[in-house]
């Protein structure tokens, strides 16, 4: 297990398919489970209508930063409400399953199967259909090279 302080050193990569059982539990593959300290995770619905998964302590630090924003701004307050109301602290059970609340499963379009995707500092849980749709609308060749630091672009793709 990795402590919250060491979380910044973890890099999740790869993709796994997982089943959702009749109670809404997802069995986490061992290669991802071993990187989640104490089995406590923070899960939130965010940018792409997928679920983002972080260790609980790491997500709490992110939420503290969110709460430090200027609450006098109505747009900030609504953003805080959105994020906080779509966030849960959960624990993997003894068999490595995570019970996803029904409301979050519905909002993320999750039914009987999911894709668990490593995206660097966190995991994402996707409905396979939504992920496929997202991929159909994206091409690595079409990304604006100016959004990627030049040195990294060359390492990934060669010349722009």
Residue 55 lies in a domain: yes
What's the pLDDT at 137?
87
The reported pLDDT for the residue numbered 150 is 78
Q: Is residue 142 part of a domain?
A: no
Domain contains 35? yes
Partners of 41 in the beta sheet?
55, 90
Q: What are phi and psi of 101, to 5 degrees?
A: -55, 140
Q: Give the pLDDT score at 6.
A: 52
Residue 160 lies in a domain: no
Res 3: pLDDT: 44
Q: What is the pLDDT of residue 46?
A: 79
Residue 91 belongs to domain with CATH number: 3.40.1550.20
Q: Note whether residue 138 is domain-resident.
A: no
For residue 3, tell me if it sits in a domain: no
* The predicted structure's pLDDT at residue 101: 95
98: domain range?
Answer: 8-126
- 104: Cβ–Cβ under 8 A, 6 or more apart, which residues? 43, 45, 51, 86, 88, 110
Secondary structure class of 90 (helix, strand, coil): strand
**Number of separate domains in the chain:** 1
Q: Is residue 133 part of a domain?
A: no
Q: Comparing C-alpha atoms, which of 26, 31, 44, 43 is closest to residue 95?
A: 26
CB atoms closer than 10 angstroms to residue 63: 17
Rounded CA gap, 121 and 58, in Å?
A: 10
Question: In this structure, is residue 100 part of a structural domain?
Answer: yes
pLDDT tens digits in sequence order for the chain, 160 residues long: 444 445 456 788 999 999 999 999 999 998 888 888 678 899 999 778 999 998 888 888 889 999 999 999 999 999 999 999 999 999 999 999 999 999 999 999 999 999 999 998 899 999 999 999 998 988 877 778 788 787 777 777 666 5
């Amino acid at each position: 297990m990795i402590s919250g302080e060491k979380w910044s050193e973890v890099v999740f990569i790869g993709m796994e398919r997982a089943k959702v059982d009749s109670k809404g539990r997802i069995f986490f593959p061992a290669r991802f489970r071993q990187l989640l300290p104490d089995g406590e995770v923070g899960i939130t619905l965010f940018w792409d209508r997928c679920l983002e998964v972080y260790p609980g302590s790491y997500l709490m630090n992110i939420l503290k930063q969110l709460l430090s924003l200027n609450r006098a701004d109505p747009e900030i307050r609504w953003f805080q409400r959105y994020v906080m109301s779509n966030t849960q602290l959960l624990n993997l059970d003894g068999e490595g399953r995570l019970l996803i609340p029904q409301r979050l499963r519905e909002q993320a379009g999750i039914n009987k199967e999911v894709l668990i995707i490593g995206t660097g500092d966190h995991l994402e849980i996707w409905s396979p259909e939504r992920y496929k749709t997202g991929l159909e609308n994206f091409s690595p060749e079409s990304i604006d090279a100016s959004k990627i630091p030049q040195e990294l672009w060359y390492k990934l793709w060669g010349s722009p």
